[in-house]
Structure 1
Amino acid sequence: MPDRRHSAARRPPRPSLRRRLLTFLLVPVLGVLLLDAVIGYFVALAYSNRVHDATLSDNALTLSEMIGSDALRGELTEQARFLLEYDPNGRNYYTVTSDRHGRVISNAILQAPSVAVDAPPRLFDTELGHRPLRAATMRVPSRHDPDDVLTITVAENLRDRHARAREILLLTLPMQALLIVAVLFLVWLGVSHGLRVLEPLTSRLARREHDLSPIGEEDVPVEILPLTRTIDDLFARMRNMLGLQERFIADAAHQLRTPLAGIRLHVERLTETTDPAQRADAMNHVQRLAARAARTSAQLLALTRTQSPDLPDRDGMAEIDLATVVPEAVAMRVHQALAAGVDLGYEGTDDPCIIRGDALQVQEVIDNLVDNAFHYAGRGHVVTVSVARGENEVLLAVEDDGPGVDDAFLGQLGERFFRVPGVDEDGTGLGLAIVESIAERHDARVNFLHAKAGGLRVELHFPAAAPLKDHSLH
């Protein structure tokens, strides 16, 4: 026997709306934090570069002021040397060149772009042994030789700039992280509080037992309206199915009560009498009532099936050619027509008569119309099934030359359990009701008319699958 604890441990966790919302919020927020850190670092680096560039320009200006006559001999004053070489994180670099005497003093060879005399220091990027540097250069007249111009270039490495940027980032990142944690906490509180809006709805649904009425929309949030509307549609289908079930049970109880009571009565006759004539008569009654009960049950099932909401609508049906289907259905009933003494015929066209429909339900329509004509026209009469087409519809008709139906009862044909008064033939009154129900499923129109020969004519006007031009019904 499998261990239930292990199977429960392998079961995936139930989906959680709260967890899903928080996950969808957490991942973007963490992404924003990472992006903010990257942007913050570059902003801090830009600020650090600006501060160091200003200092570097000031160093170039200060050096130009501190250079004395010793510079031409390759020496610097102590103040200038301290200014240039003092760097707690590395060293600075400098070069002083004279237009007349060439390079006069330096601790590195720095190539500088050309600048105007007495112009502000010019900042530029350079390298020293593949080491990136930031430099400032300027040209000033020599104090000791009016015809000479000194070019002063100072440079520094970039380590201090990046160190300052990292310090700024490390100062701001904890505050940003704390702010994001606070935002996530507030989001969690908001999601938890927002989900409480579902509590009245869940409480109201929990109090239901067998109530399938619509949920309604008075306390339903807009975001879950599609869900509740889908549930309302499901409730409607269930109410329809339960209504069909209850109607079927009531109809079956009503229609089967009489034949079942008759069968019971004639079975008692069989057990109580030894007269062969009476026993034969009772057996005949039992057989006739059993056939009636079976036919009633079959037609009740057929009627309930045609009213089922699970059947496809017209758009979900297939194309059917009545010019092919109807003659085949009529041919299958020829032997029954011969046994009943009815002249069964077909009139149609060789042109396609395409409709959208359910083949089994169309067969059910033909069978019920032919059965109805057989029962009420009677032996020795003619039953004709015809198919014709028009511009936008296809006509299926069944007519007979029997006694017909009075005008007062034509409007009641198709009602459940209605039978024309004065007709001796056994029937359930469900055949034409089934035809009406199937026709409604196919968006077809049913007409009950007097036939030219005096009997009943039943017409079904089906919408054509495609418009049929230049044709008319005859």
Structure 2
Amino acid sequence: MSDTDAAPVTSAPPQPWLYRILTPDGRQSLRRRLLAFLLIPLMLMLMIESLITYAGALIYSNHVHDRDLADNVSTMAQMLSKENVNGEISAQARFLLDYDSEGHNYFSVSSQKHGLLAGNPQLQPPSAATGDPTLFNTTQEHRKLRAASISIPAAHDPSDKLTLTMAETLRDRHQRAREILFLSIPAQALLIAAVFALVWYGVRIGLRALDPLTKRLAAREHDLAPISDVDVPVEILPLTRTIDGLFARLRGMLALQERFIADAAHQLRTPLAGLRVHVERAQADPSPATVNDALEHIQRLTNRASRTSTQLLALTRAQSPEHETGVHALIDLGRFIPELLSLRVHEALAAGVDLGYDGPSAPVWIDGDRTTLQELLDNLIDNSLRYAGRDSIVTVAITIEDDRQVCLSIEDNGPGVPAEFLARLGERFFRVPGCHEEGTGLGLAIVQRIAERHRARVHYLSSNEGGLRVEILFPPAQTGKG
């Protein structure tokens, strides 16, 4: 077989990577699925919490370093305020300002009269207030700096003013924030692990609520009763109700099967017994007259058995739940019925019956299934041809009622049915007492069931000619005519 001839492989829907890790064997697990979808949010929460913690730690670190930077600027300003600065600062002050653990000197001392006295000429504050230091951000050599600046009066010249600016990089600030984050991560991870363990335990305990239902189902053998009960959790009620619906359909199918077997055994018992009797009679007396008579009876009984089995199968199909979901299409009865009648004309002529049609020329629309409607009409015609008798008239008609219902009727002028038995027509295996024509009693039962599938109503009436009139009222068509 070539690759193109191989059957397509249906792949399972993609699962989260964490779920695939938790299910290495590929088997579905409700517990693992719940844990996978709970653990992912918990991990996301840990990441978000870490970001929040780092941001808070950075804010705290900035606050501490800003306070230290402001204190350093104030301390150096007090030292300079006591020195006699005349164009330069003292060696001790320069040493303190030059010291930096990273080897970078970010400071400047300038005089209002003499200009820059020491430090970096590019490190100039936007403005410096006398009193409290002013903090601001700046950049030097592509480095982001945090600076503090303060102005003080010169000791040797009250008319002069000194401005001191000191700056530092942000490395220590971020380092302190990372240290705080690394200290908090183990505690947060431990908390997440504890929550996950509690979730794991909770899921295990929660899924034990399914144990009573599992035990009840395991204890069953052939019981198809509903499984929904008070001990079924609300979350799986849709599942149990779906299973109950499946059980109900299975019960219907099994009941239909049992009824079919019982009906077949009941209806075929008589023709089979007759066949055995006539076979034995022919075997006992092999004379041509006896054999021919036995063969005629065998043929008649065989036809009866064949018709009975066909009718039983037709009734079973009409009662099958599969037909409930059949797709109905728009059908023009004004065209469909005459087409079906034309197929039965030769049979009617052979039976000596005048088969006619009376209906409007305009389309008459209903929602229906063509196959079952043909079976419905065939059974109605079979019933009329069989019981109306020779030289009778059978008329199939279509009319539209005042409420837009479509009436399909078949009427004959035969012997009819006594009024007290009209209500029982349509029952399975019911035959009017005193009727000597062969039949199974299933034809009108099939008509009744097919009509119900089309949401139609069946009425059995006495015709004006003394025979039987069967009316089937179809609801107005709901399907658009396109």
Q: What TM-score, normalized to structure 1?
A: 0.92
Which of the residues 56, 74, 79 maps onto 1:61? 74
Q: What is the aligned counterpart of 2:63 among 30, 43, 50?
A: 50
Q: Give the one of 215, 231, 234 matched to 2:227.
A: 215
1:356 and 1:422 mapped to 2: Cα distance?
A: 38
Which residue is 1:8 aligned to?
none
Correspondence for 1:74 = 88
Give the SS at the match of 1:69.
coil
Q: How does 1:398-437 map to 2 (within 5 A)?
A: 398-437=410-449
Q: Deviation of residue 25 (structure 1)?
A: 1.1
Find the aligned partners of 2:79 and 2:268 in 1 and give their Cα distance: 124
Structure 1 residue matching 2:298: 3-state secondary structure: helix
Once residues 212 and 299 of structure 2 are traced to their aligned partners in structure 1, the CA distance between those partners, rounded to angstroms, is: 61
Distance 1:176 1:431 in 2: 78
Deviation at 1:456, TM superposition (A): 0.5
Distance (Å, rounded) in 1 between the aligned partners of 2:415 and 2:131: 123
DSSP-derived class of the 2:110 partner? strand
Q: Cα distance 1:72–1:439, how it changes in 2: closer, same or farther (>3 A)? A: farther
For residues 113-135 of structure 1, give each alpha carbon's deviation from its aligned partner in whole angstroms, at most 9, with x where no partner exists: 024x4253221111111111111
| Equivalent residue, structure 1, for 2:126 | 113
CA distance in 2, matches of 1:96, 1:105: 5
Which of the residues 233, 241, 258 maps onto 2:245? 233
Indicate yes or no: 2:458 matched with 1:446.
Answer: yes
Partner of 1:455: 467
In structure 1, how many angstroms separate the alpha carbons of the residues matched to 2:57 and 2:194?
24
* TM-score normalised by the chain length of structure 2: 0.90
Residue 311 of structure 1, CA deviation:
1.5
Q: Contact conserved, 1:59 with 1:83, CA < 8 A, in 2?
A: no
Aligned mates of 2:52, 2:165 — CA distance in 1: 32
- Cα separation, 2, equivalents of 1:339 and 1:56: 120
In the TM superposition, residue 90 of structure 1 has moved relative to its aligned partner by: 5.3
Alignment check: 8 A CA contact 1:313 1:441 kept: no
Contact kept? 1:376, 1:425, Cα under 8 Å: yes
Q: Which residue of 2 aligns with 1:380?
A: 391
Amino acid in the other structure paired with 1:36? E
**Identity, % of aligned pairs?**
58
Letter in 2 for 1:335: H
Give how far 1:357 is off.
1.5
Give the conservation status (yes or no) of the 8 Å contact 1:72–1:104.
Answer: no
Partner SS for 2:291:
helix
Aligned counterpart, 1:371: 382
1:20 aligns with 2:26: no
Asked if 2 retains the 8 angstrom alpha-carbon contact of 1:319 and 1:356, the reply is yes
Q: For the structure 1 residues 49 and 356, does the alpha-carbon distance in structure 2 shift closer, same or farther, using more than 3 Å as the test? A: same
How has the CA–CA distance of structure 1 residues 371 and 221 changed in structure 2, closer, same or farther, with 3 Å as cutoff? same
Partner residue in 1 for 2:407 = 395
User: Is the aligned partner of 1:37 residue 2:50?
Assistant: yes
Contact 1:66 1:77 in 2 (8 A): no
Could you tell me whether the CA contact under 8 Å between 1:99 and 1:150 is conserved in 2? yes
Q: Which runs of 5+ in 2 are unaligned?
A: 1-23
1:341 counterpart = 2:355: no
Question: Alpha-carbon deviations, 1:4-51, whole Å to 9, x = none?
Answer: xxxxxxx96210111111111111211221222222222211111111
Q: In the TM superposition, what is the alpha-carbon distance from 1:422 to its structure 2 partner?
A: 1.2
Look up the match of 2:164: 152
State how many pairs are aligned: 455
Determine whether 1:308 maps to 2:320: yes
Long gaps (5+) in structure 1: 1-10, 469-474
Contact 1:341 1:379 in 2 (8 A): yes
The answer to whether the Cα contact below 8 Å between 2:151 and 2:164 also exists between their aligned partners in 1 is yes
Aligned residue among 310, 315, 320 for 2:331: 320
1:98 and 1:148 in contact (8 A); partners too: yes
In the other structure, the counterpart of 1:4 is none
Q: Deviations over 1:376-427 (max 9, x none)?
A: 1011101111112244321111110101111100000001100111111100
Please give the secondary structure, in 2, of the residue aligned with 1:19: helix
* Paired residues of 1:377 and 1:403 also in contact (CA < 8 A): yes
| Partner SS state of residue 311, structure 1 | helix
Superposed counterparts of 1:179-328, under 5 Å: 179-313=191-325, 316-328=327-339
Instruction: Note the alpha carbon deviations across 1:254-291, whole angstroms, 9 max, x for none.
Output: 11111110111111111111333322222111111111
CA contact (8 A) 2:329 2:369 kept: yes
- TM-superposed CA distance for 1:86, in Å, is 4.6
The one-letter code sitting in structure 2 at the alignment partner of 1:27 is: I
Amino acid of the structure 2 residue aligned with 1:42:
A
Partner amino acid for 2:152?
A: V
Q: How big is the alpha-carbon RMSD for the aligned residues of Structure 1 and Structure 2?
A: 1.9
Q: CA deviation at 1:147?
A: 1.5
**1:89-128 equivalences in 2 (<5 Å):** 91=104, 93-107=106-120, 109-115=122-128, 117-128=129-140
Q: Secondary structure at the match of 1:399?
A: strand
Seen in structure 2, the aligned counterparts of structure 1 residues 148 and 228 have a Cα distance that, compared at 3 Å, is same
Matched, 1:330 2:341: yes
What amino acid does structure 1 have at the position aligned with 2:449? S
Partner of 1:178: 190
Tell me the alpha carbon deviations over residues 346-382 of structure 1, each in whole angstroms, 9 at most, x when there is no partner.
1111222221111111011000000001111011101
| 2:133 is equivalent to residue 133 of structure 1 | no
